[in-house]
Structure 1
Amino acid sequence: MAGFGEPGATPVEAAGLRVGVVAARWHGDLTDHMTERAVEAARACNAADVVVARVAGSVELPVVAQALARRCDVVVALGVVVRGATAHFDYVCRSVTDGLTRVALDTGKPVAHGVLTVDSIEQARDRAGFPDSAEDKGWSATIAALEAALAIRTADRPVSGPVGFAR
């Protein structure tokens, strides 16, 4: 588990922002809890609204994330992909990562990659935000997306005065 180096997931002030959460139903006991934690994080940040959508598996996350990005300021994608004995794991992980990245870049909206890519269910449980878990990906992915949206707002503000090395 790579939990070291995490910047922390302290709530940010996100009043007025709309959050879309899309979660896979595969490994539903984990993704249901991650979804609850994502919604709790959005509420802790005073987000204006939270829209939740469910899909069958992680491969379906990007297309629904794209639809949510048309209506929401940020999107949080949640899923669990467990390595098996075939190359399926690699194909699913690549498809999901490439798809979510494309949605973010094409829409200019933060899309949090809260898809657990693990070797075992135990590893997934340890990242799913249960009281005995080491990490809380639903919570931290939501905070990260909201923080990115706020950074985009700052970056989009008109600049007054010199920029860079100008005098």
Structure 2
Amino acid sequence: MTRLIGLAGWSGAGKTTLMTRLIPAMAARGIGVSTLKHAHHAFDIDRPGKDSYEHRAAGARQVLVASAHRWALMTEHRGATEPPLRDLLAQLAPVDLVIVEGFKRDHHPKIEVHRGANGKPWLHPEDPHIAAIASDVPPPGGDLPWAHLDEIDAITDLVLAHAMALGDFLGR
């Protein structure tokens, strides 16, 4: 059974920093985690001059690079639309919990990550999929559970409470 929770917030809110703190906190509790990160801009994990880059530049739809330590599969859209979150999640092996960073407009359970100094609006008043909040300032309204961004154990508790209550999002 695989459960999913997202970290959603504006750029600069601390989503990646929180993610890199949550992963070892989950592992310490015996929870296996995979992540899915949305990239907002054209990105490339490959570089010109590398064989895999040349394979893709020549027109390969998929290139799998493998070593004794890891493997990576790169798939070129070649003009197709960006795949939906559910299709991307289907590419992951089953695990206890998938934490999604980004995809804030998608309809899945999320923890809002908010930093007051950014001056950005809160997501939760408009997004009914926000289950809890991690912020450096108390959220308005007080109707959602929240933890301070520096309290990683409390945020881990929030993530686990909501992810476990939501059940099997992926239908595995």
- Range of TM-score over shorter length: 0.3 to 0.5
Higher share of residues assigned helix: 1
Higher relative contact order (CA 8 A, sep 6+): 2
More strand by share: 2
TM-score by length of 1: 0.40
Larger Rg: 2
Question: What is the TM-score with the length of structure 2 in the denominator?
Answer: 0.39
